Structure 1
Amino acid sequence: MNLFHQVVNWMSRFWNVMTVGPTIPSMYLDKRIENDKDYGMNLFKPNVDACMSWLGGKPKDSVLYVSFGSFASLGIEQTTELACALKSSNVYFLWVVRETEMAKLPYNFIEEISEKGLVVAWCPQLEVLSNEAVGCFLTHCGFNSTLEALSLGVPMLAMPQWTDQPTNAKHVEDVWRIGIRAHSNEKGVVRRETIERCIKELLTEVGEKGKEIRKNSIKWKNLAKKGIDEGGNSDKNIDEFIAKLL
């Protein structure tokens, strides 16, 4: 699987470039390495039991998973807009809000959304994304999160914040066509109406664009598995690289 074929083709004019991956634990794709279920480390302690038991009772493709990763920090205004959009959309949602960010949530928000939403400080993201209840991932488009969602076939609602994230969001929406970017206004804030509209397209009132995104998400999931499976491009490239070293 070559996510950046134009870049790789250009680089190949100057160096012998070989691509590998996607580099996510084997049990989520080819299942060739027994018990390879995680990366072996977490920056924060995930609330595994609460997340997975909550997801366990939800219908297929009904949950919006929301996470801005381990570093991105939303302003108070953006946090409020997102919270209001989640509440108004009336969808099931699992929102990762780090302990340092909890104070930005609107007053009494967690209590008010208890029937529809779950807010946790951290979660086992691969387990969540691979759960059939999750139908969409609202993400900052950090590369790890983007690659995981792509590999697991989860459509994305992109809200990039900084560094490489706008570029990743561009690929999500316009190159791989597996999601929608929620664009900010002149103040750099994505308004609740914009977020709600994107949630409808991807999760609750799926139109033609949403159907195409879901179809493309499954296509890339299959390509990811094929790429690292025995005989796939990644598998062959690793063998070729080792052979050259030996």
Structure 2
Amino acid sequence: MGSIVAAPQEEVLGHVAVACFVTHCGWNSTLEAIGAGKPVVAFPQWGDQVTDAKFLEEVFRVGVRMEVERCLREVTVGPRAEEMKENAARWKREAEAAVKAGGSSERNVREFVEEVKKRSVRRKTETATL
């Protein structure tokens, strides 16, 4: 099974296998993308990120901004819109069932607490026999 490890962003961006950088456009990420010579797919969230994205696309001409309108159309009226709505409704029902009394969330918490109690008793027993 894989694991999540820290990796220096500059080294990752510099790797030949990296075709572009999908970024929120924070200033450091903007500089690192330019320094690595990688095209950018900009996904700014707030503050200076929006300005940075505009510069990357319109001034430096090294990237594009994500198309929010296209995404909204895709999930509301696109060919998979109905499937996504049905899936979202199904997961909503699953989530509601999980948090109801006797639902899987309650059962899982109860099982977790019981396991912690067992381990605690086992540890106390092991410590007492030393």
TM-score, normalised to structure 2, is 0.49
Structure with more helix by fraction: 2
Query: Relative contact order, CA 8 A, sep 6+: which one is greater?
Result: 1
TM-score, normalised to structure 1, is 0.27
Q: Which has the larger radius of gyration?
A: 2
